[in-house]
Structure 1
Amino acid sequence: MSGEKCRFVNVEQQELRRLREQDSRLRSLQRDLPERLNTIREEGRRELQQRLEPLEQRSQQQEQEAKKLKSNLASLELETHRRMQQQRKELQKAIRESEAKQQQALESEVQRLENAMQDGFSQQRSLLLEITAEQRQEYLALNQHIDEKFTQLIAEERQSRQQLQQRLEQEKQDKNKLAQDLLDDVETIWQQVDRDYQHQRFAPGKLANLRREIDLTRNNIQAGVPEAAIATTQQTYVALADLRWELQQKEQQWQIFYNAALEDLQCLITEVQANRECQIEIGTGDESEKFLLEVDYWTNGSLNQYEQQLRQIETQIRESELSVTTEELGQISQQIENLRPRLGEIVEQARVEILSSQLRAEIADKVADVLSKMGYLLINPQTDAIYEGEDQRQAYVLKLQDANGGEVVTIISPEKEFGKNQVSINSFGKILQDETAQKQNADAIFQTLALDSIEINSPLECNDSPRQEYYDMDKVRQRQLNKPVQDIEASQG
């Protein structure tokens, strides 16, 4: 008589904690991770400097053009460019100081990071997150510095404009020439802003509004109203100068945000690559065993999917460089920050899966011990004690025989919850064996498991027919299971 006896079993919570905390230490195999992160930071620093160089070239060109202005705006413009040049020098100094502080922080943490990598993955991640948080604070402080400096410079600029207006009042004797010279100079400055700044990106519509003011000034001159033209031109120049400072400030902030987002993302991708393989140690002392943990394999492709998601964001950032706003960069940076813990979750999932796999093998050993006391033998350990499809993520299958030709196939199948498995005991009898005896054998197996940190949390389920698809162990071993695409491609390669 044949049949199946099935129950769900759980590892006791105390035992699960021991497995997860004490006897399953993860270590990164990539000892050069700190150096790789340092390289990315250094490349990011160079890229930011390259992005800021055109701002200096633009200022030099504008300064030469300011010398050709006809009105008293020339001296004011030269003074403005002097302030801008001083601001850029202070920004460069602040960036260098911030970079040096970041690099010093990472270098000072290299030894701690290497020790953390030796101690375990969680310590490594904790320290990396701490360093990253410090670097983000440096970027925020740098932007705060920009805001404060621009506020100070704009106040100085407005004071200079007030002095200019007083001088213009004294020069109104030749009103027509003054009005035309002011108009020509403001027109030149408007064209500079239109040519040199990304005004549609950082202040859409504002420059176009000032174009209408310039056209109104021209109409006033043609209509013989130079006083109105002078007043309108002065107002237009004030608004134009404010817009230029605003564009300069927003562009510098954008450059810093863009560089920070890209740098953070590249560091996270590097960390993903560094943790594709980890070493897991199960047990303690002389009884400990070390396994090479391929994270993507044990998570059914989750690590690859995670890296692809990060690379898609990287592509999005690079392809939208000419259009992405500072606000959108802030949203992308927050998205990266929200994704950062996912790596730890994936590696933890891999660790749990390999522990679960080992647990299934241990349960199978306990079942084999009980059956051996009932007269069953494991004929060939290489072929009759295997993972389904030779895939350690799948069910563990064990087949034993007795002297009378009876066979018992035990299937330990994983459930989603860590530590929970379905144990199915299938009897294939060539000689009749009553149902009571089969049930007693199954009870003996589950009772033995219950004595060894295994909780039995479901009633015994009895089926008249065994699971025939597990009888032929060759077919069980060769079974094609639903594997991730990358696993299939690897096996074909």
Structure 2
Amino acid sequence: MSGEKRRYTRVEDTELRRLRESDSRLRSLRNDLPERLNAVQQQCQQQMQQRLAPLEQRSQRQEQAISGLRTGLQSLERDTQQRLKRQRQEFQRNLQASENRQQQRLQTEVSRLEGAMQQGFSQQRHEYLSLLNQQRQEYFSLVEEQDRKFTGLILEERQARQKGQQILQRQIDDVVENLQAEREQKQKLAQDLLADVQSICQQMDQEYQHERFAPGKLAQLQGELELVQQNIEAGVSEAAIANAQQTYLKLADLRLELEQKEQEWQLYYQAAFADLQNLLSEVDANRQVELELGEGEDLDKFSVEVDYWTQGRFSEYEQHLQELHQQLVEGESSLTTEQLKELSQRILDQEPQLAELLEQAKLSILGSQMRAEIAANVVDALEELGYNRVEDTYEGDDNRDTFVVKLKNISGDEVVTVIRPEAEFGANSVSINTFSPTLVDEQATRQNAEAIFNLLNEAGIEAVGELECEQEADSRYQDLRQVQQRATEQPQSSSQSSSQS
């Protein structure tokens, strides 16, 4: 005859708090995190320089194209290009100064980061994220600075254009008094002016990603130039000249807008790229961590494979980061600023999840040890009742799963205790299964079970609810070899099922 006695247990709240608050004893086995940070920073700087190089080449092509203009716009364009060149040079100087500050900050705070790493993962993460946030703020500060610079540049541009238009107007007025000659000269001026504005428009179409940063605006101005052409064909030269001038002013404003938005995009992209690379580097550094339990002579250290103890969620997390990286790299030539900001926020949303995964790994290990300790207490209680330990195992030979221990007495009675993890950390169900070839005293087995749960309670493991009694023991756990070889499906506990979205 056989039977089962089952009861749920949980670790006392004070002990749970102590276990949960032992973050300082969770450490990365890698001590090269500062070097990794520095390598990521250098990589990001190189990437930024590669993205800025085409902008300098574009500037050179624009300067060369100015010589082909026929009207007073040539002088205006030359002055504009000089101002834009100075602005780009200042932008690069400010960017370099920002990167130098980041480098100096990293060098001065390396010792603090290394000290935090010795204290434990929680302190390490605090210092690490603080450094990353400072880097991010450097880029955002540059965005604000560039906004102010472009505001000044736009005012300067418009003042220069007013003077340029005055020169152009004098060119229009300097026509001979003969009406026929005047008409021919104005017709020629309108045609030259249209050709110049069309050239500038075509160059902007080829050189700028206008549909990405200012969709539809250039197409609208191209439509205005078709109206200028119609004016010329209709012999309305003065209207053609006036409309061409207005279109040029709008083109000049659009160019400044595109330059500003392009530089802003570069800074947002750089911030997102740096955030993601740093996070990937940190993930790589924490694949394996060390967990300390106990103190003094009882101190135990465990080398922890995070992916194993999180049941593959660490790999899923890394894969998700790699997918974000792919989106970022592939979107370098197509992402709008708003799309980039959204992607950047998704990257930032991933930062806390690394700490959550390491917490899951720690709790999974602690839970495994709890089950083994509960089994040890059960063995102590049953040995006092004349039973001897036979064997024990984790179900499926998986330390994250159910722990099973078998004892046997001289009469051939077997007691198999099954300690199964529940969803909540620190909670387990303890099932005491008695297998006997003879009649078993139900009252005696009940008293034995109560004695076991009393002993667990003295060890700080509280029994929850009433003792559940079943007539039949769970025969699936009688043969421990089968238990060890059994394929199991890991349950997802509430502390282990954080979203990777």
- Return 5+ residue gaps in structure 2 as ranges: 176-185, 492-501
Residue 20 of structure 1: CA displacement? 2.3
Judged with a 3 Å threshold, the aligned counterparts in structure 2 of structure 1 residues 194 and 66 are, in CA distance, closer, same or farther, namely same
Aligned mate of 1:362, from 362, 373, 390: 373
CA contact (8 A) 1:24 1:281 kept: no
Aligned to 2:193: 182
Read off the aligned partner of 1:273 and give its amino acid letter: D
Aligned mate of 2:339, from 328, 346, 351: 328
CA contact (8 A) 2:24 2:123 kept: no
Residue 475 of structure 1: CA displacement? 0.8
Partner Cα distance (1:376, 1:437) in 2: 14
CA contact (8 A) 1:23 1:282 kept: no
Partner Cα distance (1:329, 1:170) in 2: 47
Aligned to 2:319: 308
Residue 97 of structure 1: CA displacement? 0.7
Partner Cα distance (1:390, 1:64) in 2: 74
Judged with a 3 Å threshold, the aligned counterparts in structure 2 of structure 1 residues 391 and 146 are, in CA distance, closer, same or farther, namely same
Residue 321 of structure 1: CA displacement? 2.3
Read off the aligned partner of 2:429 and give its amino acid letter: Q
3-state SS of 2:462 partner = strand
Aligned to 1:434: 441
Aligned to 2:178: none
Aligned mate of 1:284, from 282, 290, 295: 295
Aligned to 2:351: 340
Read off the aligned partner of 1:441 and give its amino acid letter: N
Aligned to 2:285: 274
Partner Cα distance (1:90, 1:327) in 2: 25
Residue 183 of structure 1: CA displacement? 1.3
3-state SS of 2:27 partner = strand
User: In the alignment, does 2:401 pair up with 1:394?
Assistant: yes
Judged with a 3 Å threshold, the aligned counterparts in structure 2 of structure 1 residues 354 and 203 are, in CA distance, closer, same or farther, namely same
Aligned to 2:89: 89
Partner Cα distance (1:58, 1:158) in 2: 23
CA contact (8 A) 1:378 1:399 kept: yes
| CA shift digits 1:393-412 (9 cap, x unpaired) | 01111100111111100011
Aligned to 2:180: none
Partner Cα distance (2:247, 2:135) in 1: 41
Aligned mate of 1:201, from 212, 215, 239: 212
Judged with a 3 Å threshold, the aligned counterparts in structure 2 of structure 1 residues 23 and 171 are, in CA distance, closer, same or farther, namely closer
| CA shift digits 1:34-77 (9 cap, x unpaired) | 21121111111111011111111111111111122111111111
CA contact (8 A) 2:401 2:490 kept: no
Aligned to 2:69: 69
User: In the alignment, does 2:414 pair up with 1:403?
Assistant: no
Residue 261 of structure 1: CA displacement? 1.3
| CA shift digits 1:89-129 (9 cap, x unpaired) | 10010110111111112222221111211111111111111
Partner Cα distance (1:346, 1:258) in 2: 27
Partner Cα distance (1:426, 1:327) in 2: 62
User: In the alignment, does 2:145 pair up with 1:134?
Assistant: no
Partner Cα distance (1:160, 1:18) in 2: 71
Aligned to 1:256: 267
Aligned to 2:498: none
CA contact (8 A) 2:24 2:119 kept: no
3-state SS of 1:31 partner = coil
Aligned to 2:455: 448
| CA shift digits 1:130-185 (9 cap, x unpaired) | 11111111010111111111111111010011111222222223323322221111
Judged with a 3 Å threshold, the aligned counterparts in structure 2 of structure 1 residues 299 and 449 are, in CA distance, closer, same or farther, namely same
CA contact (8 A) 1:182 1:233 kept: yes
Judged with a 3 Å threshold, the aligned counterparts in structure 2 of structure 1 residues 199 and 23 are, in CA distance, closer, same or farther, namely closer
Aligned to 2:161: 161
Residue 260 of structure 1: CA displacement? 2.1
Read off the aligned partner of 2:152 and give its amino acid letter: Q
| CA shift digits 1:224-266 (9 cap, x unpaired) | 2211111101100100001111111111221222222122112
Partner Cα distance (2:204, 2:121) in 1: 52
User: In the alignment, does 2:480 pair up with 1:469?
Assistant: no
3-state SS of 1:171 partner = helix
Aligned to 2:147: 147
Read off the aligned partner of 2:168 and give its amino acid letter: L
Aligned length in residues:
480
TM-score with structure 1 length normalisation?
0.95
Aligned mate of 2:307, from 284, 290, 296: 296
Structure 1 consecutive aligned stretches of length 4 or more whose deviation exceeds 6 Å = none
Residues 205-214 or 217-226, more deviating: 217-226
TM-score with structure 2 length normalisation?
0.94
Judged with a 3 Å threshold, the aligned counterparts in structure 2 of structure 1 residues 253 and 460 are, in CA distance, closer, same or farther, namely same
CA RMSD, Structure 1 to Structure 2 (Å): 1.4
Partner Cα distance (1:397, 1:229) in 2: 92
Residue 431 of structure 1: CA displacement? 3.0
Partner Cα distance (1:293, 1:339) in 2: 22
3-state SS of 1:399 partner = strand
Partner Cα distance (1:104, 1:85) in 2: 29
